[in-house]
Amino acid sequence: MLDTKPVVVAGVDGCRSGWLVVLRQVTGTPAFDLRVFERFADILRLDPAPTKIAVDMPIGLPDLIGTGGRGAEQAVRPHLGMRQSTVFSIPSRAAVYCEEYGAACEAALATSSPPRKVSKQAFNLFPKIRELDEVMHPDLEETIFEVHPEMAFWRLNGKTPIPLPKKVKGKPYGAGLDMRRDLLERFGFPRSFLDQAPPKGAGRDDVLDACVNAIIAERLHHGEAEPFPHDFRRDGRGLRMTIWA
């Protein structure tokens, strides 16, 4: 019998309650679904399984870090103009695996050149970075890809960064969010889907980020996405370190 299961891709964004996932059907009638999973590994158990998963979380943690973070962060910042501050420098694996802020700073100082501590904002991401790192394996690299929402919007916006931020002083900025929503609508998302109330533990920005990540996942499915940098390196576990758009 022919396999009639639809082909879906997934855009994933971390949120307070776990992992926000937008599923986008790329065969047959367009269809969209929004879900929250407590654990990243649960996404891999979906049926049908997404052919591509684009996640806004670092994949690949080097043992030593130079100026500007990993090559992936260095490669995307020049494209983002005023939005480049959204790209955090990820420290070494040793620092990421520290569960206390002081210890993470000490580990980061010992494994960076020039020596650099960890920002509190980056430290708050460490639990999710560790969770993804524990799941990730080179055998999964044709399924799971690192993306960055602002780089994804840059791609959709004709290789131009979105001029308005998503947040101002830590609070949602409606004009910037609306600008991203309108762009996503041009790429096939229904307005009603984009304007739905976010799930508990997530914000409107998380929904929009997961949606744009899903579009990059579709580009990956069709072989249209590009890695930044092209000449990427791998970490000590063999994980590819590059951001796709």
pLDDT in tens, 94-149: 999 999 999 999 999 999 999 999 999 899 999 999 999 999 999 999 999 999 99
Instruction: Say whether pTM exceeds 0.85.
Output: yes
| Whole-number Å distance between alpha carbons of 185 and 44 | 27
Task: Please report the pLDDT score of residue 143 as a whole number.
Answer: 98
Mind giving me the DSSP string for 32-89?
EEEEEESSGGGGGG-SSPPS-EEESS-----SSB-TTSSHHHHHHHHHHGGGGGGSPP
What's the pLDDT score for residue 1?
45
* Lowest-confidence region among 63-72, 134-143, 145-154: 63-72
Nearest to 243 by CA among 130, 138, 149: 149
Give 242's pLDDT tier (boundaries 50, 70, 90).
very high
How far apart, in whole angstroms, are the C-alpha atoms of residue 222 and residue 204? 28
Candidates 126, 146, 153; CA nearest to 209 is: 153
pLDDT of residue 220: 98
pLDDT bucket at 3, cuts 50 / 70 / 90? low
The closest alpha carbon to 205, from 238, 168, 230, belongs to 168
Helices then strands, counting H and E runs in the chain, come out as 9, 9
Give the whole-number percent of the chain exceeding pLDDT 90: 89
Please say if the pLDDT value at position 38 is more than 90: yes
